[in-house]
Amino acid sequence: MKSIANPLHHLTVGRRGFITGTTLGLGAGLSTPAIVSRATADEPSDVALRDQDLPFIGTEETFSTHELMVLNDRLFLEDTGLAEIGPRRIGAMDEAGLNVQILSAHTPGVQNVPGRKGIDFAYRLNRMLVDGPMATYPRRFQAFATLPLQNPEASADELERAVREDGFLGCLTNGIIGKKFLDHPDFEPVLARAEALGKPIYIHPGLPPDEVFQIYYSNMRPEYQEEFQDQVLSISAYGWHQEVVTQCIRMITSGVFDRHPELQIIIGHMGEGLPFFYKRILEKMGEVTQKSLEKPFEQYFHDNFWFTTSAFPQTDLLDLLLKYISVDRVMFATDYPFADMKKQTDWFRAVDLPREAKEKIAFRNAEKLFGIKV
């Protein structure tokens, strides 16, 4: 059995350069689709010039610490800027015109750490943000709470503490938690507390369990192994995007939103592939859930889900997302430091949408959902 607990563990400096040289790294994606839009042209379009003053809130912006990278065997990511939440990051935000970053811990955070160690680690990470960047740059950084999800009751308590005492905007989870999705009864305390607090849960992708990796992604070809193709396929190239959509569909079918009708879920990466499958999913799942759900299957996507543009600055994908999802439920994100902030703000400034719609995506929807102001 080949474990993926420590993917890319043996990367050399050259390989690390490959990671950061591409648009995205391990935390978001090693193979971003080629960007072809007016934002990359030498001369800004009329729309881009019109919207040069557009404010931005980044809703999926990643951080880590040396301790967290050691825990998750991610020290090869030190050079990416993950652990720098000061002048370097602020400088990149200023250059891009990104007003606010909502920070979240790099996958998998501490959600796989059991017992008291996980509870204490999550608390220290959350307090580090409050006492560090959020205090030093109070207008520039907000945060999602990191939760010790091996203990759902403690996670619910830490979410409430972080929201009420420290002003956190919700929490972020990373893919499968052990071998369970959020629709598992074990996580009812977290879902109920998030709903009661009126704060969303951002579902970010995570590493698949070893069994899933072996069945879906493992390959015995030596060249395949040497280039880590199986591991990249299992995460940023394909696997974890499909996993997030699977988790969302499971939450609907298992009645999570019938039990918690006000619960709000955020997913990134332009819907994690959901827009492509949207009509097919509704056609098939709508037929078999009419008697088991309180609403039409489609309605849950409009009542309980929000979508961000993180790491997918492609106009055709945004158009497809907006074909099915209201502009009132789409938010801007960059996935920094695994994606270039300026490329993404430049791209969005050049997107040919009405100014009102662009303001909603860039910052107004986030202001409404999180109760903050640029």
Q: List active site positions.
A: 335
- The full length of the chain comes to 374
Distances (CA, A) of 188 to 181, 283, 328: 11, 29, 28
Residue 262's CB: how many other CB atoms inside 10 A?
Answer: 11
Distances (CA, A) of 309 to 173, 229, 267, 345, 347: 18, 25, 9, 11, 11
Helical spans, DSSP H, in the chain: 13-21, 46-50, 66-71, 87-96, 115-131, 133-136, 152-166, 188-197, 210-216, 222-226, 229-234, 239-253, 256-259, 274-288, 297-304, 315-324, 341-350, 355-359, 365-370
- Alpha-carbon span 241 to 32, nearest angstrom: 13
Residue 131's CB: how many other CB atoms inside 10 A?
Answer: 11
Burial 184-199 (b: 16+ CB within 10 A, else e): eebbbbbbebbbebeb
CA nearest to 314, candidates 10, 101, 35 = 35
Rounded (5°) CA angle 363-367-373:
95
- Alpha-carbon span 244 to 225, nearest angstrom: 25
- Alpha-carbon span 34 to 332, nearest angstrom: 19
